[in-house]
Amino acid sequence: MKSRKAHRQSTAKKRLDPQAEALLQHMAQSNVPPFHTLTPTQAREVMGRMAALSAGPKVVANVENLTIPGPGGQIPVRIYTPQGDGPFPILVFSHGGGWVICDLDTHDNLCRSLSNRACCVVVSVGYRLAPEHKFPAALEDAYAATQWVANNANRINGDPARIAVGGDSAGGNLATVVAIMARDRNGPGLAYQLLIYPVTDVSSPNTDSHRNYAEGYFLNRGDGEWFCDSYLNCEADRLNPLVSPLLAQDLSRLPPALVITAEFDVLRDEGEAYAKRLKKAGVPVKCTRYKGMIHGFMSMDGLLDQARNGIAEASAALREAFLTS
């Protein structure tokens, strides 16, 4: 007789999107090692190769690489400008990767898609990575980049009155906290938050999604703990609302938000809990769970139909927010 855990896992596998299941099987057959078994440099190389295989090429009217001043030195940014005259609304985007891996290149195609589909300038932020740079280095860079965008919108053919923040996974965490910081530090004013399977609570990873999808669904629990250990200075940082925004006492007066989660993702429950907290605080929010999907799916539009659906939803939400801001 199957154990209760084995039965639950078997039932869950049947609900996986067939394309996601095929991807996971390919990864297993290719012996892709878990990130936490590698050095940060090795993990970044593996992630770079995976990203190159899972995205589809897209043309954007203009792409420019810049460096802008930040608290720890120069911050690399990549600026995507769509076809048209402008000035365009702006999305300041922070990539995922557990604050440790990923970069401007791994999220290049996603940013191109959002720029084209939302008809906005996307400023992708190459924030400092852990463990070389611990908390709050990445957050300081993300906030500094948002301030720079607000102060230099004309330089990038953007509209300073229509700025959104966004990101996926750890980048969703940074976007979430930047929105809180902007509120508490009197700016810059933000029109929207695009939060794609965001990290919102690392204080006690004991949700149903953490238990049920801890292994075998791309992002596993061991990787998550390795990312946190690399990013944080000490265990007390886990309780800091600038790391775990779900623990923030006040989530009122924040910009409207779209929270996207994936059904088979350890981060699903904390992302949805954050959306509920926003709604309770009076913030307009929509939360969409993509059934059958795994962590990271939005960057895999070359492989997953649902990724294209997610990009379409995110882009439509941004367009609407920019029209009404």
Tell me which of 115, 295, 301, 315 is the catalytic residue: 295
Reduce the DSSP state of residue 160 to 3 states and report it: strand
Tell me which of 103, 141, 168, 265 is the catalytic residue: 265
Give yes or no: 169 in active site: yes
**CA-CA-CA-CA torsion for 287, 290, 291, 296, nearest 10 degrees?**
-130
Q: How far apart are CA 90 and CA 76, in angstroms?
A: 17
Residue 224 corresponds to which tokens in the numbers above? 């998550």
Tell me which of 54, 115, 124, 169 is the catalytic residue: 169
Residue 133 corresponds to which tokens in the numbers above? 């740079």
Residues 84-113 as b/e (b if ≥16 CB within 10 A, e otherwise) read eeebbbbbbbbbbbbbbbbbbebbbbbbbb
Give yes or no: 265 in active site: yes
Instruction: Give every CB contact of residue 15 below 8 A, 6+ residues apart in sequence.
Output: 263, 264, 291, 292
Q: How far apart are CA 259 and CA 195, in angstroms?
A: 5
CA 177 to chain CA centroid, Å, is: 12
- What number of residues does the chain have? 325
- Residue positions annotated with a catalytic role: 169, 265, 295
